[in-house]
Amino acid sequence: MPETLRRYLRYTSWPILAAMIALMVLGVLAISASELAEGEAAGFSTRQTISACVALGAFVLATVVPYPRVGRLAYPLFGITLAMLVLVLFLPEVRETHRWIALGPVQFQPSEVAKIAFIALLAWYLRYRDNYRRLTGLIVPFVLTLVPMVLILREPDLGTALLFLPTLYFMLFMAGAKWRHLLGIVGVATALVFVPVPHRITEAMQNEEAADRAALAYWVERDADRKPTRVWLAAPLAIMKQHQIHRIDGWLRQGDPRIAMGRGYQLSHSKTALASGMMTGRGDWSDADTYLSLLPEDHTDFIFSVIGGQWGFVGCVGVLALYAVIFVFGIEIAAITHDPFARLLAVGVLALMLAQIFINVGMTMGLMPITGMTLPLVSYGGSSLVVNCAALGLLVNVGMRRPILLSKRPFEYGPEREKPVRVGVMADAPRSAE
């Protein structure tokens, strides 16, 4: 066996790789179950299997290229990603959104690539700095976060945009940003969210939209016929699209039977399908058309509901346990490395996956509004699958190349001396690390 291959096999984090493959297999099986339940041969499971093979190649590539090279390419990669996010806004709409770029028969989402580019850029920017220990030093990281967020919101893709802020906060916290600064920003942002702003109801608007916004308004101004003419809404609600208003209203009133049959339709059927599996699942979907055939997007956003119906509570816990394996060994990788960029890169990948899982599972169970978030490694979608596998490849890459500490550990700040510390990067695993 060649020495390079032997070292690669020796230092690869096999638990993370095994959990990743198991989740992809479960995803293909769940997608197949959703196809059978609906009586359609859409070919989703076949395409997902092909995407899984491509994703494994992306994982291997992300582990082979030494992570310091990824850091040196972070700024160009981020710039190219922003250019694609701008370009996609001028391309024809697909499903009433500007999310996909078509390259022949293949379509991909630049917003998915933006997640990795953002993590690499932020980790590279923060690695030897300590200005983020001051409040003014947080301006640049927040600007670097808000630029892709705004472009992705323009698509619109609220679910993907929501991932950037939790990832930023995890990385800043691990880099040593002060708690009072981070909490202060959260407090100000929360206060701004609830600031009421006027939203005019025009004659061109449908009565349904006026009623929706009036139901969520702080104050409603009406004309002589008692029709709403202007409402005072929380700032984010004033700029949201109508379907996003529907989702929030349906979530807030999910116990109302009238809402469950209307704008809360997806959430209602998601909880029904999730609960139908009980402890060990139904197994045979031949009599389950009532549960899944009525659930929209069951192979993408609501794949967790399919898992709950197919394998019950045990299946759901099993999926979460596989994610736990990734997080346990990922945290170990982040903890044992002393390279600042490597640690921040690992933390960013873990924070990104945690946010996706939390949002997707939460909205499936009715704990959060529906935002169109996929379950990583499980939901149908080639772009998401390839990017998540590549991100885990970077995490394993960090574990394969552990630098030797030459001085004080990074991100450790004393009460008197708070200066960045450089470490010598020398691999004790494959010598290709730089």
Q: Are residues 301 and 360 in contact, defined by beta-carbon separation less than 8 angstroms?
A: yes
Nearest 5°: phi and psi at 351? -65, -40
Of the candidates 344, 347, 398, which has an alpha carbon nearest to the alpha carbon of residue 12?
Answer: 398
Tell me what pLDDT residue 42 has.
62
pLDDT, position 405? 53
CB atoms < 10 A from the CB of 58, how many? Answer: 18
| 335-358 burial code (b ≥16 CB/10 A, e <16) | eebbbbbbbbbbbbbbbbbbbbbe
C-alpha to C-alpha distance for 117 and 127, rounded to whole angstroms = 15
User: What's the pLDDT score for residue 269?
Assistant: 80
The single-letter code of the amino acid at 191 is: A
The per-residue pLDDT for 39 is 57
CA distance 256 to 251: 10
**pLDDT at residue 35 in the model:** 78
From first to last of its 434 residues, the chain has per-residue pLDDT tens of: 566 677 777 778 889 999 999 999 999 998 888 877 665 546 788 889 999 999 999 999 999 988 999 999 999 999 999 999 999 988 887 777 788 888 777 788 899 999 999 999 999 999 887 778 888 889 999 999 999 999 998 888 888 888 999 999 999 998 888 888 889 988 888 888 778 888 777 655 556 666 777 777 777 877 777 777 787 777 777 777 777 777 777 787 777 777 767 677 778 888 888 887 788 877 665 555 566 666 777 788 889 988 988 888 999 999 999 999 999 999 999 988 888 999 999 999 999 999 999 999 998 988 888 887 889 999 998 889 999 999 999 999 998 876 655 556 666 665 544 444 444 343 444 444 33
Count other C-beta atoms under 10 Å from residue 89's C-beta. 11
pTM as predicted: 0.84
pLDDT confidence of residue 149: 92
Contact present, 413 and 133 (Cβ < 8 Å): yes
Residue-wise DSSP of 221-259: EE-TTS-EEEEEEEHHHHH--HHHHHHHHHHHTTT-HHH
Task: Supply the DSSP symbol for 402.
Answer: -
Chain center to CA of 352: 6
Look up residue 81 and give its amino acid: T
What pLDDT, on the 0 to 100 scale, is given for residue 412? 64
